[in-house]
Amino acid sequence: MIIPIASDHAGFEAKEIVKRILDKQGITTIDYGTSSSESVDYPDFATYVAQAVNNGEHDMGILICGTGQGMCITANKYPKIRAALVWNEEMARISREHNKANILCLPGRYLNEDELRSIMTTWLQSEFEGGRHQRRINKIDIPKKD
Ligand code: RB5
């Protein structure tokens, strides 16, 4: 499995930790930056990962900023993206089982290494449950005018 990953400056340290965690699990990452703690704008980096997943190049991606919010808002502009803001293991599991999240957004400023590891592991191991959740996903769209 190959996973594209990106962060802004506030998520940079967490991104480096996540890359090490995934590497130890035999998962390859493609790092779209940023490459330091120097201030950048999160949409510039969210776009790389969101596009790669939206166009089918990769099945899943990871985005990290300070709160995870900006990355999540930006990624969800893309029609095939279901980006989930996740801050604990249970949210990680449900975002996959119920929402079939294809981008994991993490609040880098609020998670330590152990939390990042448990969230990552759970998110990657959890499977979409289908059924009523597929029906709901099918309804996610821009409402049409009558
Ligand atoms: C950067 O200071 C911060 O605003 C950004 O990382 C993120 O939290 C935005 O949603």
Judge whether 90 lies within some domain.
yes
**Whole-prediction pTM value?**
0.96
Judge whether 59 lies within some domain.
yes
Judge whether 146 lies within some domain.
no
**42 three-class SS:** helix
Q: How far apart, in whole angstroms, are the C-alpha atoms of residue 132 and residue 50?
A: 26
Q: How far apart, in whole angstroms, are the C-alpha atoms of residue 44 and residue 143?
A: 28
Q: Which amino acids are annotated catalytic?
A: 65, 98
Could you tell me the residue range of the domain that residue 94 belongs to? 2-140
Name residue, tokens 């996610």: 140
Statement: residue 9 has pLDDT above 80:
yes
Report how far ligand 1's centroid is from the alpha carbon of 42 (Å): 7
Give the number of other Cβ atoms within 10 Å of residue 134's Cβ.
11
- Count of domains forming the chain: 1
The pLDDT of residue 141:
78
Report how far ligand 1's centroid is from the alpha carbon of 67 (Å): 6
Residue 53: name the closest of 125, 103, 94, 1 by CA: 103
Q: How far apart, in whole angstroms, are the C-alpha atoms of residue 16 and residue 9?
A: 11
Judge whether 101 lies within some domain.
yes
105: Cα separation from own chain's centroid: 4
The pairing of beta strand 61-65 with beta strand 83-85: unpaired
| Residue nearest atom 9 of ligand 1, based on CA coordinates | 70
Mean pLDDT of the chain: 96
What tens digit of pLDDT does each residue of 25-77 get? 999 999 999 999 999 999 999 999 999 999 999 999 999 999 999 999 999 99
The domain that holds 11 is classified in CATH as 3.40.1400.10
